[in-house]
Amino acid sequence: MIAKIESACLIGLEAARVQVEVNLAKGMPSFSIVGLPDASVREAKDRVVAAIRNTGFEFPSRRVTVNLAPADLRKEGACFDLAIAVGILMASEAISPKRWPRCLWLGELALDGSIRPVRGALPLARSLSRQANSALVLPSGNLEEVSYLSGIKLFPFLNLLGVVQWLHADGAPEPVVRNTVWKPGAEVNLVDLSEIKGQVMAKRALEISAAGGHNLLMIGPPGTGKSMLAQALPGILPSWTLQDALDATQVHSIAGVLQGPGLLPRRPYRSPHHSVSAVALLGGGDIPAPGEISLAHRGVLFLDELPEFRRDALEALRQPLEQGTIHIHRARGRATYPSDFLLIAAMNPCPCGYRGHPKKECECSGIKIQKYVGKISGPLLDRVDLQVELTALNVEELFENKKEAESSASVKARVEHARAIQEERYRNEKYSLRDNAHLWPRALARYCAFTSEGETILKAAVERLGFSARAFDRIRKVARTIADLEASKTIEARHIAEAIHYRCLDRQVRY
């Protein structure tokens, strides 16, 4: 009269096993769920009763108690429905399974007994696949996203009846899921680099940014192509791999924003409007949910009109920019979400936008400019490796012949080559190190040694321009990437000189 069945729920990105115990006692017919269920779990009651009846079984008129253990863990979501239903069928002896595989049960029930896909199936399955001998019963609707995982057995089902037939059939074959070979979706490149006129320096900065994972800030008057450049970035980033797709998709899966089945077909590109709140950007809520920076994990976060963003939102970016993860703590729970994204920001040089424009006159007062630029704090700027100024196009550039400009495809080839060099170099690192931008101090010393000539230049630059220690490190990282783009083993003076070049906000006293 008692049945035990295993299910799981998510805490952040980690799976927590949950024992679903069903006890049928004599007494007043009733049905209660205990073990800190939230509203959606408590509502499982009505779904389960209807699903069992509509599948053709009788719901026991007994005192049904469902316990979700451990009792101190808050359970949320509808993913326990299937486990509860199967547990009740077992406890009431409505079914007598011929097989009882050791597995975890996951699925939301519809009133007619069909099994609906659940939120967060991918992170759950991925976390379980790291444990030995895991098997998972899951909704067929979630199969596509988890089928690329290895090390986990999957049993997908469409409805409760299918589950019962599977448990009953003795020799019938188990539903086998082959891990399908994954192919990224077709790239959708809105803008090709060759379509952007002029801005050679900004294009170069974009290439370095893509090659080494460096954050980039573009400063320029309106209409110089800042947004176009940002849109061209996905086209030169390295190809979308399965590992990256899994990393990114699991965050989207938790947030419940996956469009269509399966993994994200391409790198996420998030461009939140500047009215975004700090919580929406970073993640949060009663039970912490991922924000824009986590949805941009392994992808691009484009912040257009950077000074227009709320200051608290911008300042809160500092820590995730440095660490690649964000810890969110709330009264009802805490979560850690990955937030390893490439930050691309764009801004005007002043409120009217025309400071430094060759033809138009800027109307802004000094105080206004200072206030505008001052919205972006030094610590945040320090974390932006590449700062590049865009100038308004002149007539010749506007009528420039198109074929001179390099296409995204050829830039991408260079970027991928530089990435391959980095991967090879950092392969034996203890902590996973992906690109130059994420070098930590000790590794920085090991990999970013430069020639004495370079040292002289850097010394002079630090002395004259007053770089902070962090800015100094950033320059070395950028120089490393520039050297990698040339496939040069050592960092030469010219690499360092170019890297210094991309710190225009540090260089200019007038800002």
Q: Are the beta carbons of 80 and 108 closer than 8 angstroms?
A: no
- Verify binding: residue 29, other proteins, rule CB under 8 A: yes
Q: How many residues bind other proteins (CB under 8 A)?
A: 11
Q: Write down the least CB distance from residue 30 to other proteins, Å.
A: 4
Q: Write down the least CB distance from residue 31 to other proteins, Å.
A: 6
Sign of the CA dihedral with 487 first, then 491, 493, and 494 last: positive
Q: Write down the least CB distance from residue 343 to other proteins, Å.
A: 52
What DSSP character marks residue 508? -
Count of CB atoms within 10 A of residue 215's CB? 21
CB burial readout 349-371, b (16+ within 10 A) else e: bbbbbbbbbeeeebebeeeebee
Q: Are the beta carbons of 392 and 198 closer than 8 angstroms?
A: no
Q: Rule CB under 8 A: choose which of 27, 173, 260, 441 binds other proteins.
A: 27
Q: Which is nearer to other proteins, 59 or 166 (CB)?
A: 59
- Verify binding: residue 47, other proteins, rule CB under 8 A: no
Q: Which is nearer to other proteins, 27 or 171 (CB)?
A: 27
Q: Write down the least CB distance from residue 67 to other proteins, Å.
A: 13
What DSSP character marks residue 285? T
Q: Which is nearer to other proteins, 32 or 508 (CB)?
A: 32
What DSSP character marks residue 191? -
Count of CB atoms within 10 A of residue 238's CB? 19
- Verify binding: residue 410, other proteins, rule CB under 8 A: no
Q: Judged by CB under 8 A, which stretch of 21-29, 186-194, 286-294, 472-480 contacts other proteins?
A: 21-29
Q: Which is nearer to other proteins, 26 or 430 (CB)?
A: 26
The residue type at 410: S
Q: Which is nearer to other proteins, 25 or 172 (CB)?
A: 25
Q: Judged by CB under 8 A, which stretch of 25-33, 152-160, 367-375, 489-497 contacts other proteins?
A: 25-33
Q: Which is nearer to other proteins, 29 or 358 (CB)?
A: 29
Q: Which is nearer to other proteins, 61 or 243 (CB)?
A: 61
- Verify binding: residue 31, other proteins, rule CB under 8 A: yes
- Verify binding: residue 32, other proteins, rule CB under 8 A: yes
Which strand (E) or helix (H) includes residue 203? helix 200-212
With H, G, I as helix, E, B as strand and everything else as coil, classify residue 392: coil
- Verify binding: residue 180, other proteins, rule CB under 8 A: no
Length of the chain: 511
The residue type at 480: R
Q: Are the beta carbons of 115 and 160 closer than 8 angstroms?
A: yes
Tokens of 135: 């098997």
Q: Rule CB under 8 A: choose which of 62, 204, 438, 503 binds other proteins.
A: 62
- Verify binding: residue 59, other proteins, rule CB under 8 A: yes
Burial level of 389, CB count in 10 A (0-12/13-18/19+)? buried
- Verify binding: residue 450, other proteins, rule CB under 8 A: no
Which strand (E) or helix (H) includes residue 166? helix 160-168
Q: Judged by CB under 8 A, which stretch of 26-34, 139-147, 235-243, 279-287 contacts other proteins?
A: 26-34
- Verify binding: residue 56, other proteins, rule CB under 8 A: no
Q: Judged by CB under 8 A, which stretch of 29-37, 249-257, 348-356, 358-366 contacts other proteins?
A: 29-37
Q: Which is nearer to other proteins, 85 or 411 (CB)?
A: 85
Q: Which is nearer to other proteins, 27 or 441 (CB)?
A: 27
Q: Write down the least CB distance from residue 63 to other proteins, Å.
A: 8
Sign of the CA dihedral with 215 first, then 304, 189, and 267 last: positive
Q: Which is nearer to other proteins, 62 or 501 (CB)?
A: 62
Q: Write down the least CB distance from residue 107 to other proteins, Å.
A: 24
Tokens of 433: 């190190």
- Verify binding: residue 171, other proteins, rule CB under 8 A: no
**DSSP string of 9-69?**
EEETTEEEEEEEEEEEESSS-EEEEESSB-HHHHTHHHHHHHHHHHTT-PPP-SEEEEEEE
Q: Judged by CB under 8 A, which stretch of 30-38, 108-116, 414-422, 448-456 contacts other proteins?
A: 30-38
Distances in Å between the Cα of 222 and the Cα atoms of 14, 112, 308, 419 are: 45, 57, 14, 32
Q: Find the largest Cα–Cα distance for the chain.
A: 90
- Verify binding: residue 30, other proteins, rule CB under 8 A: yes
Q: Which is nearer to other proteins, 32 or 131 (CB)?
A: 32
Interface residues toward other proteins, by CB under 8 A = 26-32, 59, 61-63
